[in-house]
Chain A
Amino acid sequence: MITPRWWSQPFPPTGAIASEGIRNQLGRPPVDPLTVFVRETAQNSWDARLPGVETVYRLELTTVAPSYRPTWERLLTPPAAVQEHLGVGRAVSTPNLRLLSVVDRGTKGLGGPTRADELTDGRRDWISFVLNVGEKRDTSLGGGTYGYGKAVLYRLSRVGTILVYTRTADETGILVSRLIGIALGRSFDNRGRVDTESRPFTGRHWWGDVRDDHVEPLVGDGADEVARSLGLTPFEYGESGTTLVVIDPDLDDFEDMEQAAQHLAETIAWQLWPIMLPERGTDRLAPVVVAAGRAFPVPDPSRVYPLRMFVAAHRRLPTDSATTLDCGNPRKRLGRFALERSVVVPMSPSAVSLAASFAGVDGDPHHVCLMRSPELVVRYHEGPSTSSVHSVYAGVFRADDQLDDVYAASEPPTHDNWVSEQLTGHERTFVRATFMRLREQLAVFRAPAQNAPSTTSRTALGAVSNYLGGLVAAAFASTDEQPGRRESGRPGVPRTPTSGSGQDSPSSLNGSGGAGSSPATRARVTTLMEPHIEAANGSVVLVARYAVTTPGPVRLDARLSVATWEGREDEPPAGAARPMVREWRTAHGTVTDEFCVVNGPAEVELVVVPVPDTATDMSVVATPLTELTEGAA
């Protein structure tokens, strides 16, 4: 068996890129390395997916177990000559060495030749991932364009070192394992040392089967054996895929591994939701996050607010409610755009997850998610904020497949923006037009300008109360003025005869007149709590609390309508929704009906589903049922 060793790349006579150059390929330092990490590795896994099976994407945060640690130290300690330039030696000699692994299965692994100077017409995954830098990828409609993003792996490791353990089909279709280590340190020279030949080095190091002037990976059983001795996740029989191990990841921003894992799970939801949706069948990514043996579930994007609004918009893309955005000159289809609006209870700042704010959605959404063919989130483009904190929107813009190359070319190495300045000519116009169209689409939300022209004589205070007071119209509990107005013909529903005597007798209000002799014809309802907005199962509802003071059974009917400029709305516009009773909460459970019967005195809560973008007028009409039973007798 071959024992793997470290080999450092010397500068060839023709020169080479130094490792600092590779590390800086990402451009500006990432806001959150973990976000870039998740995006980049998931994109790699996604591009390598095999048809017909779900792509498993598992992030594992682990500590090297004490039983494995001696092996790590023995195998990975670099030779003395480069020890000061290769931090991994320090790392493997410390207890509690942390690892962050990306395990993908249902993918094809890194295949192709293991030497960059070998010609091939087939796959070159290995060459472009392990050896070359900045190689153009040929994945059709793939996520990345140039393999620059992998620099984040080295940046994330405090010692700039990763292990790559992959199993892939060779030319004959047989699955073969490969294992190699890669480190990016600083470029250096060893002129100070007497024990070796003095020359400059690029700072790139490989760990594996060292040959004269390059390093081959460990292959086959040799690779599996070393991987097993290091405790890496083994491959099942017939399984292909890749495991990337970041040695000693920089998780200083988090208090512990659990918190980091939680952040990773949320980041996955925010960055990868389009390829996680269940309607994709097997062509989907199945993410898992595990830390110290405990699974951290990835939030379901179609359930959690505010992500589910983006999901809803995304699901509308193929429907009529989405629009196609076009560029006018030259005439070209840019892509599809869909919008989801909602009325919400504003999030408290503490409820905003770190992952969401790194994604750029710092609270309630007023954003458009940009994506192109691979359906990976490019970015959450911030739109104008609405004039009301309760009103939010989430949009999705998906670039047309024909323009995929154009949008891809406008992306920086991290693929998280579209920058028209990177392009020229028509291509530049298309990207600019995209943002212009989006701006137009979102113009309705712009909060009113400060010095808006006003031709009315409203005082400033009046305007404020118009803005705020309109959100929830005041509710007044009223007694039943017109019992006969209710629609008839409901079998089995008790009703109060309109001809009842003593209609206005105040003495009967609290039943003090004696239920037998002077039956109450009116029931009294008072409002205990004015209607207010609540979130229930993720949707917004209006809740008001009433007290029924009349003893005995009382029927409560909700009177709901949209409050309009002209008062209560009698008839809605054609095809428009009306507010509806969601439920009555009584002491004896909830009633999901238009009306409810309680035994007074009692307290009830009326829960109403409002119509978006409207104000709701709600009140309760109470009718005692005692009279009916007695009158009938």
Chain B
Amino acid sequence: MSVLYPRLLGDAARELHSQYQHAPIAKLQEGHALRHPSAVFAATGGRRVTAEELQRLREDILTVAARAGFPNEGRRQDRMDFDVEVAQLLHRRCGLVAAEASVRPMWAFLALVLLPDVSYWRFPRPPGDRVLGTDITRHVWGRLWWRAHLLALPQEHERYRLLETFGEAAFDQMYARRRSIGGSRILVRAVADAWPTVDRGRVPERTLLIDVLKRLSRWGAVVDFESLDDDELRRQVQEAVTESAAVLRAVYVQDVGPRHASDRTLG
């Protein structure tokens, strides 16, 4: 059965955010709670999460955060590892179904009530959508759950092995197309599956991914990817990836000036 989480509605969330925005992490640690007077539950659709479960979730995330240097700033790579680990943790543990996970105030509750200290540590002085849940694909926790959800392989032993395939910037391209490509889990997984095999040459990952997504998007107008079987889907995706890589490699071989060299380090 699906688990329901408290939802922190808009006004209350914005108020908390304005309080917390410039507060030191030590103060935020004191501010955390397991419930909030303005939080509400959905009337139906599952059982309500218990206080113990919320407490345990907080503790687990704190453990992962501590490994990544919390409450100190830590290295960039550590925070990447933190993201991957928390994405799995949230997806495995929360008992959320996609319908509940697309309710934005729920994520606001996690960010502002249960885990304000970790949220503001992960994104210091964040723009509102990182914590408020105005845009799940940017939300400190919501985007991780969805990333895990899109890439999880429920039938496999290592069900989260695809999580590390894409960098954050590349995966944002999927989120940006969440109504089309990003909305099809099997397509996202197929791209992730094909990704490590591609010979990128000097082509930045993000550039290549955008091009691949363009190709898939063209086909998406006439092909129902969901109706293809695994074999056919893999073939289609592989064709797009190979074609993009081949065309772009040629472009990037031709002009490898210093300008492009700096592009590469960014990508």
Q: Judging by beta carbons under 8 Å apart, are A443 and B235 in contact?
A: yes
Take A573-B211, A573-B244, A575-B247 as given contacts and tell me if A456 and B232 are in contact as well, using a CB distance cutoff of 8 Å.
no
The interface centre, meaning the residue of B177, B212, B220, B244 with most chain A CB atoms within 10 A of its CB, is B220
A348 interface contact, C-beta 8 A: no
Residues of A within 8 A of B235 (CB): 443-444
Question: Are B215 and A615 interface neighbours, CB within 8 A?
Answer: no
Comparing B7-15, B84-92, B106-114, B178-186, the segment that makes contact with chain A is B178-186
A455 engages B221 (CB within 8 Å): no
Q: Are B232 and A454 neighbours in the complex by a CB distance under 8 Å? A: no
Contact A444 B177, beta carbon cutoff 8 Å: no
Given the known interface contacts A443-B232, A444-B236, A456-B184, the answer about A614 and B226 at a Cβ–Cβ threshold of 8 Å is: no
Q: How far is the CA of A388 from the CA of B219 in the complex (A)?
A: 13
Give the docked Cα–Cα distance between A470 and B184 (Å): 18
Binding-face segment, A79-87, A360-368, A559-567: A559-567
Asked if A471 CB lies within 8 Å of chain B CBs, one says yes
How far does the alpha carbon of A444 sit from the alpha carbon of B226 in the complex, in Å? 14
What CA separation (Å) do A574 and B183 show in the bound complex?
24
| Contact indicator B228/A565 (Cβ below 8 Å) | no
A563-B221, A565-B221 known; A443+B214 contact, CB < 8 A: no
Beyond A565-B180, A574-B211, A574-B247, whether A473 also contacts B221 by CB under 8 A is yes
Judge whether B158 is part of the interface by a CB distance below 8 angstroms. Answer: no
- A564 and B218 contacting across the interface, CB-CB below 8 Å: yes
Q: Which of B179, B181, B185, B229 contacts A449 (CB 8 A)?
A: B229
Residues of B within 8 A of A467 (CB): 224
- A566 touching B218 by the CB < 8 A rule? no
Interface residues of A in 538-571 (CB under 8 A from B): 562-566, 569, 571
Chain A residues, Cβ within 8 Å of B248: 574
Cβ–Cβ contact B226 & A470, under 8 A: no
Nearest A-chain residue to B185, judged by Cβ: A455
User: Nearest A residue to B225 by beta-carbon distance?
Assistant: A565
- Per the bound structure, the CA–CA distance linking A565 and B222 in Å amounts to 9
Interface size on A, residues (CB 8 A): 32
Which residue of A444, A449, A452, A571 is within 8 Å of B214 (Cβ)? A571
B244 touches A562 (CB 8 A): no
Q: How far is the CB of A572 from chain B (nearest CB, A)?
A: 7
A336 to B113, CA, bound (A): 65
* Given A574-B247, A574-B248, A454-B219 contact (CB < 8 Å): no
Tell me if B's interface is mostly helix, strand, loop or mixed: helix
Q: Determine the residue in chain A with the shortest Cβ distance to B250.
A: A575
| Count class of interface residues, chain B | 20 to 34
Residue of A nearest to B245 (CB): A574
CA–CA, A455 and B226, complex, Å: 7
Also in contact, A569 and B217, with CB within 8 A (given A444-B235, A448-B228): yes
Q: A573-B244, A574-B211, A575-B247 are in contact. Are A566 and B217 (CB under 8 A)?
A: yes
A633 at interface, CB cutoff 8 A? no
- Which residues of chain B have C-beta atoms less than 8 A from A463's C-beta? 224, 227
The residues in A between 429 and 468 inclusive whose CB is less than 8 angstroms from any CB of B are: 443-444, 446, 448-449, 452-456, 463, 466-467
Q: Does A594 contact B (CB under 8 A)?
A: no
Q: How far is the CA of A614 from the CA of B240 in the complex (A)?
A: 14
Q: Please name all residues of chain B whose beta carbon is closer than 8 Å to the beta carbon of A563 when the two chains form the complex.
A: 221
Partner of A566, one of B180, B212, B227: B180
Question: Across the interface, do B222 and A614 meet the contact criterion of CB distance under 8 Å?
Answer: yes
**A574–B244 touching, CB < 8 Å:** yes
Q: Do the beta carbons of A573 and B215 come within 8 Å of each other?
A: yes
Residues of A within 8 A of B243 (CB): 573, 575
Please tell me if A613 contacts chain B, counting CB pairs below 8 Å: yes
CB <8 Å contact, A564 and B229: no
**Best-surrounded residue of B214, B222, B235 (most CB of chain A within 10 A):** B222
Residues in A whose Cβ lies below 8 Å from that of B261: none
**What residue in chain B is nearest A441 (Cβ atoms)?**
B235
A576 within 8 A of B: yes
Q: Is the CB of B215 within 8 A of A576?
A: yes
List, in ascending order, chain B residues with CB within 8 A of A452's CB. 226-229
CB neighbours (8 Å) of B229 from chain A are 448-449, 452
Residue B231 interfacial (CB < 8 Å): yes
Determine which residue in B179, B212, B218, B251 has the highest number of CB atoms from chain A within 10 A of its CB, and name it. B218
Specify which chain B residues have a CB less than 8 angstroms from the CB of A473 in the assembled complex.
Answer: 221
Cβ distance A301 to chain B, nearest Cβ, rounded Å: 29
**A 606-631 binary contact with B (CB < 8 Å = 1; else 0):** 00000001110000000000000000
Whether A573 contacts B218 by the Cβ 8 Å rule is yes
A572–B214 Cα distance when bound, in Å, is: 7
Binding site for A on B (CB under 8 A): 177, 179-181, 183-186, 211-212, 214-222, 224, 226-229, 231-232, 235-236, 239, 243-244, 247-248, 251
| A residues with CB within 8 A of B | 388, 443-444, 446, 448-449, 452-456, 463, 466-467, 470-471, 473, 562-566, 569, 571-576, 613-615
**Could you list 14 examples of A-B contacts with CB < 8 Å?**
A443-B232, A448-B229, A452-B226, A454-B226, A455-B226, A456-B226, A471-B222, A562-B221, A565-B177, A572-B214, A575-B243, A575-B247, A576-B215, A614-B222
The 5 A-B residue pairs with the shortest CB-CB distance in the complex, in nearest-first order: A565-B220, A565-B180, A575-B247, A564-B217, A573-B214
Other A-B pairs beyond A573-B211, A574-B244, 17, CB < 8 Å: A388-B222, A443-B232, A448-B229, A449-B229, A452-B229, A467-B224, A562-B218, A562-B221, A565-B180, A565-B216, A566-B177, A569-B218, A573-B214, A574-B211, A574-B248, A614-B218, A615-B222
